[in-house]
Chains A and B, each alone.
Chain A
Amino acid sequence: MAMQREQAARGAAAAAAAGSDGEEEEEGGSEQGGAAPAQRQAIYNVEVIHDKLEDISWSEEAAWEESLALTRAAPTAVANPENDLERELAFYNQALDAAQTAIARFEAAGLAWQRPADYYAEMVKSDEHMQKVKEQLLYEKQQIEASDMRKKEREAKKFSKQVAAERKKERAQDKKQAITSISKLRKQREKSGFAGELDVDAELERMEGGGRGGGGRGGRQQQHKPGERFAPRDKSAKREQRDSKFGFGGPKRNRKQNDASSAADGGAAAAEAAAGVAAGAAAGAVEGAAALAVVTAAIAAALVAAAVADVAAAGAAAAGAAAMEGAAQAVFAAAA
């Protein structure tokens, strides 16, 4: 029954094509065969088309200025008409080509074609409409900028800790360098017996060879950004440790780890943080290297002992492993 219906539909479609719109039809075509009604050839009467064209045509014989119609030399080829961008680009190029040709012809004929800046006349779209268009464009631009800013901030948050650590190191180095340079200067002057006037900045610059411009600053004074009321002071190691443990609500021990941004970069941030910690440990743990080796050996020994123990006591071994992990973390923290 389904087959019958399909056949009926096909027949109906053919009949519709054959007798559409109820217009009169003449079979006076030049491409006409004795085809069955369902597969009739479409009418294409070239003779009559040419006759009609001749009857009405004036644009080819009249001056170009009457019609301003241009035909492009090359056909507008669109490989895939479904691809909107490609298609519109092809149309744009065709129109651009025509515009350039027209301008060349206007210039050759000496006609004024450019609208002067003070020529005010009614436009196709009203000023209110153009205002709406402008607002829409600005709004879209704003949206794009806002989303870019959001993305950048998200990226920056991941690196802010690293950046903060680096800045702290840099500040410590500066301070150390300043102290040593001042003490060197003092020793020099002692040797030369405090002769002449003391111009600290010039002396320091001479010593460093003009390398660092901030030699004048010394001690605990730091440069702070304009707008900050208080200069950031160096914190002692003890202060920093306390801060990390209790400051601003303490460490984020049991906070949610899996949110939209972490899911989006699929563990990249976590891998980086681990690498950062490991790097920090490696960089600053020269003194603790020996201790580290001892602890590692201890862990290995404990693991071996655990492996020897009974399978049923896996829980105890797991607890032991957790305890060892905690010890290792403490070592890392001390070394950093």
Chain B
Amino acid sequence: MAKRKAPPAEAAPAPAKAARKEAGGKRRAPQDDEGPSTSGGGAVAAAHTVSGFKNKEKVLLLSSRGITYRFRHLMLDLGQLLPHGKKDAKLDTKSERGVINEVADMKGCTSVLYFEARKHKDLYLWVAKAPQGPSVKFHVTNVHTLEELKLSGNHLRGSRPVLSFDKNFDESPHLQLLKEMLTQVFAVPKRHHKSKPFFDHVTAFSVTDGRIWLRNYQVLPDPDKKRAAAGEGLTLVEVGPRACLQPIKMFAGSFGGPVIYENQEYVSPNTIRSMIKRQQQGKYVSKVQSRQDRKLHVAAHPLPRDELGDVFK
């Protein structure tokens, strides 16, 4: 479990933190970045210490009561993507979320994906690191599940994905934290007993319009072995599921604790619905108002008497 860093590596974070502070809050300088499209792995490995760390994350998947079919299928589909995930029964309460930490402890999970459904209409996704870690609440929209016939790809169940992150994730501190949390949740551990050996699919996270877009693609290499090895003729077919996550708030603790980030552009779906209703309401109110105004206007401005008015009786 990745709760504590291994002792030999502890010396590394202190200068790293100082370097980060110097760099004005950015995570690391651009040339230290992990996945440049041009260079190979050699130069990158020299830039940071490679500890003997082993990924042993486990993810707890659970939902609240009142979840509908589409969101339930999304949860199950994500469960299929994560062989290191464990499903649990529905959570009864929506107010006491701290219980989830205990459930995670019982199951031995380090991360939690909690699908909170409200009003049978809105889905909120909590991504949390179980005992003490930070947690994020997302508003989920544009959900497409694996059942969609238009998403025609397929891949091995449990194969380890390559996670593709947008460069925008390195631009702000809260996105850096989100990137780390998403990596820890979605990266399948190497020696997991349910994982499959080959490289089959790519899970992509992009930041656009203040939201995080999740896409999952199957990798189809060229049938010709030599071209496939060179990486030419590679095609991707979308497998699903698809979702659009808008971060609402980030908390220092797991399902509680002080707020460390708040999204200014977030408008809750309730507010949107009430605004729409008010607009509709406004139509009737303005109609009544205009009728009254007309009456007043007619009363205040009587027509002048027409001299020829009674010529034709």
Contact = CB atoms under 8 A, between A and B. Distances in A.
A123 B155 contact: yes
A70 interface: yes
Nearest to B27: A53
A37 B295 CA distance: 42
B208 A87 contact: yes
A72 B41 CA distance: 14
Interface string A8-39: 01001100100011011110100000000000
A159 interface: no
B249 to A, nearest CB: 7
Contact of A54 (B13, B152, B164): B13
Which size bracket describes the interface of A in this complex? 35 or more
B234 A20 contact: no
A74 interface: yes
A61 interface: yes
A9 B213 CA distance: 31
A75 B180 CA distance: 17
A67 B37 CA distance: 17
A92 B217 contact: yes
Contact of B49 (A54, A61, A71): A61
B91 interface: no
Contacts, number: 294
A42 B262 contact: yes
Interface string B25-37: 1011000011111
Interface string B12-31: 11001100100001011000
Contacts of B260: 43-45, 48-49, 52
A24 B252 CA distance: 11
A100 interface: yes
B286 interface: yes
B252 A48 contact: yes
B161 interface: yes
Interface stretch (B63-71, B99-107, B199-207, B304-312): B199-207
Contacts of A67: 55, 163, 183-184, 187
Nearest to A109: B41
A1 B27 CA distance: 52
A52 B49 contact: no
A95 interface: yes
A94 to B, nearest CB: 6
Contact of B50 (A43, A62, A114, A132): A62
Contacts of B166: 71-72, 75-76, 94
B256 interface: yes
Contacts of B217: 92, 95, 99
Interface string A48-90: 1110111111111111111111111111101001000001101
Contacts of A321: none
Given A66-B190, A68-B187, A101 B208 contact: no
A59 B204 contact: no
Given A69-B187, A71-B165, A102-B202, 4 more contacts: A53-B180, A56-B134, A59-B187, A99-B231
29 contacts: A13-B271, A24-B256, A42-B263, A53-B173, A54-B13, A56-B134, A58-B5, A58-B184, A59-B183, A60-B48, A61-B48, A61-B49, A62-B53, A63-B53, A64-B44, A65-B190, A67-B184, A68-B162, A70-B35, A71-B35, A72-B165, A73-B37, A74-B37, A91-B204, A92-B217, A94-B164, A101-B36, A105-B40, A121-B196
Which 4 residue pairs are nearest across A and B when measured between Cβ atoms?
A: A98-B164, A70-B35, A113-B199, A75-B167
